[in-house]
Amino acid sequence: MANKLTELLGIEYPILQGGMAWISDASLASAVSNAGGAGIISTGGRTTEYTRDEIRRCRTLTDRPFGVNVMLMAPNKDEIVDVICEEKPAFVTLGAGNPVPYFEKFHAAGVKVIPVVPNVKLAKRVEAKGADAMVVEGMEAGGHIGVLTTMALMTQVIPEVKIPVIMAGGFADGRGLAAALLMGAAGVQIGTRFLVAEECPLHGNVKQKLIEAVDTDTIVTGITIGGAVRGIKNKFSEEFLALEYSGKAEKQTLLDKAAGTNKLAAVDGDTENGMMQAGQSLIPLKKIEPVQAIVEGIMKEARTTLAGAASIQL
């Protein structure tokens, strides 16, 4: 399935794997790249040493293109950027901050730049500043989210820019990929579906919770303090939400309460006191299976859906 995105990154399928903190490591990234998509190593909460080691480890596991995600709120972001420029993965995705100041440095190192944007204004800005492509993420996604839905973003962003647009937020199957392509996107970024992959290092306790979850099982915390995060309902998230809207907690108190809870779930497997970040499309998460099977299933369904679209009469 060749298009502007697959040609830009040198990949077989227009599927990026989301850069999920404490989860997206070389094992998962290489598996996605080997399956024909583009894997991404996450550096959120990580050290420069970890970043360098994972990039190098990924190269021992795949000879295909992969990327690295940089969280621009991280205190060591500049050091992380330096390591990426030295190690030269195929591309970077940049979120949670202003990506523009880093474009020139990455391009000088031969690294393609794909910022994550939440609206038309920023989409136009990063295109004008030289982004190679962009991820446009809707609020259906897991983790930190914006305020617009994926459909609203596809409707409004795609016609306004010329560089490849990768849609994110709620994509978990081939029908979603087909819909995005028909809307004019160059591909999709998928995170939550890969959480139940065999190669994903997410704790088994959380994987089981995701498989058991139904479509209404996500919850959004942190809206009132400017840091909305979507995850699975549990003791922590419901208690946090009650405190958030009680009017009895200051912003710093809420931030302190949330600190470390993503790692607590993802790494330690605490499904009660940790924040199990996940998007809204949960029903497709039916079993733990290899990344190769997930990607092949998505592509088979996408091809069938696209073929069927030609027979629709209006």
Distance CA 263, CA 261 (A): 5
Average pLDDT over residues 205-215: 97
- Residue 314: the pLDDT is 80
Find the helix packing angle between 26-34 and 48-61, rounded to 10°.
30
**CB neighbour list of residue 310: distance below 8 Å, 6 or more residues apart:** none
Name residue 59's amino acid.
R
CA distance 79 to 75: 9
- Predicted confidence at residue 28, as pLDDT, reads 98
The per-residue pLDDT for 313 is: 79
Residue range 292-307: mean pLDDT, rounded: 97
Query: What percent of the chain is modeled with pLDDT above 90?
Result: 94
pLDDT, tens digit, 9 for 90 and up, residues 264-274: 999 999 999 99
pLDDT number for residue 181 = 97
Task: Dump pLDDT digits (tens) for 114-159.
Answer: 999 999 999 999 999 999 999 999 999 999 999 999 999 999 999 9
Q: Is pLDDT at 205 greater than 90 in this prediction?
A: yes
Give per-residue pLDDT as tens, 62-104. Answer: 999 999 999 998 899 999 999 999 999 999 999 888 999 999 9
- pLDDT single digits (tens) 235-266: 999 999 999 999 888 999 999 999 999 999 99
Residue 311: the pLDDT is 85
Residue 198 has pLDDT above 80, yes or no: yes
Q: Which residues contact 181 (CB under 8 A, 6 or more apart)?
A: 3, 14, 187, 302, 306
Just give the CATH number of 4-200+284-309: 3.20.20.70
User: What value does the mean pLDDT of the chain take?
Assistant: 96
Question: What is residue 260's DSSP assignment?
Answer: T
Q: Where in the chain is the domain with CATH 3.20.20.70?
A: 4-200+284-309
Q: How far apart are the first and last CA of the chain?
A: 27
